[in-house]
Structure 1
Amino acid sequence: MTDLSFCGRAYAKIILHAAKYPHCAINGLLLGKQKGNELQIVDAVPLFHICLHVSPMSEIALTTVEQMANSKGLVIAGYYLANENINDVSIDKPSHRGISEKIAENFNNAVIAVVDNKDMTIGMNVNPLRISQYSDGKWKFKDKSSIKYEGGAGLLEAMYYLMKNEEYRNLVDFDNHLDNISLDWRNLLLNDVIDDALKNHR
């Protein structure tokens, strides 16, 4: 398995997506780049909170995101999810398996990030992500200490600021975009807000 790092923006968008829909299962894509033996996850694209199954809508989303990623020299390097049940951190539901296996077919070192809902609070002092990486045809759990998160303690402070200011309300996923195509699934304005929060909490 390769070394793995998450930039603050990718981490923040996963958490904000889960915070916006605490009553729903959610999913999204992780965009990254491979640098030598390290996979850097640099952004996250929120997908759905209504119907997570592989469908014409998810096919459209995957194609659209892949085109955007390619234009920036990135690849779809993984998948993230939060399950509806607070105690559920499994990745084997058909709705998750369909997309994650498709990603792994196209990218050998693909990762899955699962939000542990029990660790989600406004003042999170622990990282709620559980990461697995695809290796030798299986998803293998990665020890938290082996994953680098940009920003360290400052990342948790930035997340507290973003949650306290309810920035999750401004996050747009593909379900939102399909309801109203004027809403930007790329979250360009939110990206700026997240980047500023990370800069101010170094």
Structure 2
Amino acid sequence: MADVKFSVRAYSKMVLHAAKYPHCAINGVLLAEEQKSKDDKKGRCLFVCDAVPLFHLCLHVTPMAEIALTQIDHMASTSGLVLAGYYLANENMKDLSYEKCGQRIADKIAENFSSACLVVIDNRRLTLSMENMALCVSQFVDGKWKSKEKSSVSLESNSKSVAAALLQRRVHEQLIDFDNHLDDLSQDWRNLNLNQEVEEEVGTVG
């Protein structure tokens, strides 16, 4: 299996999505580009560069999910990216499972991207200090989802510090997911303003 690395933006947006709706299960998709691993010349490194928040109310209403995935896929393809994974956080704080409905979306992504990953956010690690990586990662291998060793999953430099700073500034209140967008089409699910907030925080922390 390839190593998986998450950008500051992708990690921060997953954390902020879960933080905005602590009373709900949430989900979203991951965008990525592939690159050679610097540590393993024989392998490939999956670099997850962005996360797109989907839902916090009706996670698996099929028509809504299809609309969202179609729009995201179009945006990704015009940006030279690919739908490369699925993330979720469960309502129960200790629950690290992924339900069948969510797995179906992940399986669909894996049909088109063989190195797709499935991420479960560990709610117990969502703190204002964000000292520990809050992701449990599986990858699609030989038709099955297999948990990855922690040593093969990494974050871009300062990801935890940036996520912590954004949480402390309550930037999660600005995040827009597809539920918000479908309620009010003027709300932009691409989160361009939030992306800018992340970049500015990177500059501050760096």
TM-score (norm 1): 0.96
Q: How does 1:76-155 map to 2 (within 5 A)?
A: 76-91=83-98, 93-151=99-157, 154-155=158-159
Q: How does 1:122-201 map to 2 (within 5 A)?
A: 122-151=128-157, 154-201=158-205
SS in 2 for 1:66: helix
Cα deviation digits, residues 49-74 of structure 1 (max 9, x gap)? 00111510000000000000000000
Answer whether contact 1:53 1:94 (CA < 8 A) is retained: no
Answer whether contact 2:11 2:163 (CA < 8 A) is retained: no
- Tell me the C-alpha RMSD between the 2 structures: 1.0
* 1:30 to partner: Cα distance: 0.2
**Are 2:73 and 1:69 aligned?**
no
Where does residue 13 of structure 2 map in the other structure? 13
- For residues 62 and 5 of structure 2, the distance between their equivalents in structure 1, rounded to whole angstroms, comes to 30
Matched residue pairs, number? 199
TM-score (norm 2): 0.94
What residue ranges of structure 2 are gaps of 5+ in the alignment?
Answer: 37-43
Q: How does 1:23-62 map to 2 (within 5 A)?
A: 23-36=23-36, 37-62=44-69
- For residues 195 and 80 of structure 1, the distance between their equivalents in structure 2, rounded to whole angstroms, comes to 22
SS in 2 for 1:35: strand
Answer whether contact 1:20 1:168 (CA < 8 A) is retained: yes
SS in 1 for 2:5: strand
Moved more, 184-193 or 48-57: 48-57
